[in-house]
Amino acid sequence: MPGQRKRKKRQREALARQADRFGPDAGRWEVLYSTQDEPTLRAEMRRLFAGRPDLGEDEIRVDVLCGRLVHPTTYRLSVFVPFDAGPVDAGPVDAGPIDAEPIDAGPIDAGRPQEA
């Protein structure tokens, strides 16, 4: 396909720049907000972008911790903080209602037959 080599080369170069900029030696990801409500997360993202216009989209990370029956889906909003910068003002953190007790499933091999 025409242009595929150039396009792939640009993608590799962009990934390399991103790895250099956001690698483990450059800084850390700091959790700003955690919620179980997606519209609340979107509102918090709008507030964050409005309050910090210098913040780029690549400096934001949204982690979706997939839920199960006991643990509901949780959304975490993180921002990249370079090592030379101080802590980020996170404001109040809403962890959401988590009333369930953790389940102890026992050892992993509990369901396997024992060897003699």
6, 64, 116 from 58: Cα distances, Å: 23, 17, 55
Non-local CB neighbours of 75 within 8 Å, separated by 6+ positions: 34, 35, 36, 37, 38, 41, 62, 63, 64, 65
Alpha-carbon gap, residue 75 to 5, rounded angstroms: 37
pLDDT tens digits for 16-48?
Answer: 887 777 777 778 888 988 988 889 989 998 898
pLDDT tens digits for 100-115?
Answer: 444 444 444 444 444 5
pTM over 0.75: no
Single-letter code of the amino acid located at 70: V
